[in-house]
Amino acid sequence: MSYLNMNEEEIIPVVVELNVLLADYHVYYQKLRSKHWNVIGKNFFDLHKQFEDMYNDAKVKIDEIAERILTLRYHPMSKLEDYLKTSAILEESPIKADQNMVIETLSDHKLLLMQMSKVIEKAEAISDEGTIDLMGAYIRELEKTSWMLNAWTKKTSDTLKDTVVEVS
């Protein structure tokens, strides 16, 4: 008996994109762990803690994405080999300057956000509100983290856009 109000054939594109996101998150998670272990310099304490918070968050999201796939009545991808073949996020050397670690992480965020948009597109096509809701929360959280990391890369003399958006 199916507890879903969706056609099982129509769910497949959503599951495919969720599995890609799952692969992306696994590679992203490991890269954050590596940065946590390998960061050095004056920003060590800030970034060591930040990367730890981020990989703990990624670990939760990995489980939630896999459980969403299971909720949709399919098996999640679960082999490291498959994650590495599937993910748009690539492994890179962990030995780099702290500034470059943050810039690389922001680049990975862009890829994650693009994949989340693909998941939403497929989920909207079949009115999969559970997946849409999950992705919306992930996007909001990742955009906020990206804003904070981006702010960290700036000089204190940098400013935001000079234009104030006026309400009509």
- pTM (whole model) above 0.95: no
Give the model confidence (pLDDT) of 20-56 as tens digits.
999 999 999 999 999 999 999 999 999 999 999 999 9
**Is residue 110 very low, low, confident or very high in pLDDT (cuts 50, 70, 90)?**
very high
Which residues, including other chains, have CB under 8 Å from residue 46's CB and lie 6 or more apart?
Answer: 152
The rounded Cα 65 to chain-centroid distance in angstroms is 11
Cα 77 to Cα 29, 48, 80, 141, distances in angstroms: 16, 30, 9, 24
| Confidence bin at 162 (pLDDT 50/70/90) | low
Structural domains in the chain, sorted by start: 9-150 (1.20.1260.10)
SS3 46: helix
Is the per-residue pLDDT at 1 higher than 50? no
Q: What is the mean pLDDT of residues 67-84?
A: 97
> How far is the C-alpha of 119 from the C-alpha of 59, rounded, in Å?
19
